[in-house]
Chain A
Amino acid sequence: MTRSQIVDWALSLYEDLDFYQARQWASETPSGKAVGHLPVYAPREVIHASKMLPVGIYGGGDQVEIIRGDAFYQSYICHIPRSVVELCQAGNFDFLSGVLFPSTCDVIRNLSGMWQLLKPEQYVRYVDLPQIGDPQLGSKFWGQEIRTLVRDLGEISGSPANEDQLRESVALFNESRQLIRALYEKRSKEPWRIPTEELYLLMRAGEIAPVEIFNEKLRTYLAAADEGDYPVKDRSRVVVAGAFCEQPPLGLIKTIERAGCYIVDDDFLVGNRLLLSDVSLDGSVVDNLARSFFSDSEKTSVLYESDPEGKKKLMKARVDAVNADGIIFAAPSFCDPALLDRPMLRKGAEENNIPCIAFKYAENTGQFQQFREQAGTFSDSIKLWGGQ
């Protein structure tokens, strides 16, 4: 398969809001079932070990006209739950046997209760991620939560995961995270070789495709990315922050890059690489998975920052890690985690003289001219005056 074929494959999954392909894959699992999850982080390994297909639910983007979804939400609530409910009411998620709702924010949390009423036949679990700083107490709690999931998902699939199956699944997801990290690293070093549009589509595909297939595609894509010559353009290197839950439309990602920026780091779909190093396969895999969450995981606005200096230092660390020139804070309208975090993150960046701009979007934003102008001016200002 060529690079462009892989991108086409990913695009077809991105556009497949009927989940035709996912239904097919689900039917091919030993249980014949699939379990969905909302952003930002869910332990997909556990669904896989329970012989079911994990399916990331990221709303309808700019492809769905919202009719029924708006009847569930006031105007001042973000867009993703509207399109999720729209798709749910249209029957697009009927193939799921359950849905996990991670503790991302109060909107996702309350959607879990709505789902219990909308889909009483489906398993619904609110996944309370550990927030405390104490790794011992926190990982004990999180280990219990994972064990509850293992038990419940086993009952749904009829194939409860044992230690060996969990180990096998964790190993596959370790590999997946390695490949994702490699792709991100390659993009940060040579962003002209890996347009973020392509990287993003691959990441979205990874939320739906079986991990075995996704890993294979990533390996092929990574190898292909080294081939050929790509013109290096005079662009500013930017980090995009704040887009971890409701996803920006693909057009917005393209617009930022075409306006003169290379996106060299982002937090799109951050759950797929939240664990920054391999989960140990020795001993209890559940305990290891729980401990990994504490010992080495990505910082995100949906989790409490126990280090008082953490927020201040975060953006500088992220910028330094990828040698970026500036930051674009791109948050969905009405997104509590991103927008409440922004003043702290921006203050930390500006104290370190890192150029920043900020804007808001919705998943169905259709006009990009203002973003093009903003990102273009930002890029120019960095090039001309270092962003000052």
Chain B
Amino acid sequence: MIVLDNVSRIQRTDSGTIPLLTEASEYFGRHERVGILAAPGTGKSSVARLLSGIEKPDSGHVYREGKTSWPIGFAGGFHPELTGAQNIRFLSELVGQDPLEAIAFCTEFADLGDSLSKKNKTFSSVERAMLAYSFSLSVPCDMYIADEVIGVGDTDMRLRCSAILDQRLENAGLIFLSKNPAQLQKHCSRFLLLIESKLVPCYDLNEGVEALMASNERAQLTQSNSASKRGTS
């Protein structure tokens, strides 16, 4: 279970601060699959980090009950100089997973048997993604967070990703942040819209997409307006 209570998050840029999330309150249950639709570059990853507990909000509280995953498929923790097995072992110990169980899970699911003894830097990008994906699902969690990545690899691989994710979600919740309404529709049953730093309910994803596009146009209009004003003055 994750509860957002009046949560705000800003981003600092060279030209000042921009709000990514403003006073958001929401309840995410343990047996829910919630999709959050957002336009590119509007703070999906920041919201994912807030939900995962990696970052703290600027104001408000994020309450978490049980274990929350890191964004599924995150590969940043894998050191290029370590082998696949070494990486899984160290990261397992960090998150409280039995290393042997994790290695067995990844070997079976991702079909990486031989590659686990290779150094991470010699992996192909698909292998690397598979390893990161299967490792994130090897850890039983109560809430899974997905930041755009919900499956990896080719069509066949993606089917297996979906199957294993479904298995995990029998006993856990999902929050999936994406710009892709079709993907959200496929994996989620309740939807939210991240629009102009607000988190609002969304009952129809097509309308959600239109709302995002309209908001984007308004933003561009304001931008070009202020740019032309600067040009004339």
Q: Do A and B bind each other?
A: no
Residues of A within 8 A of B (CB): none
- Please report B residues at the A interface, Cβ cutoff 8 Å: none
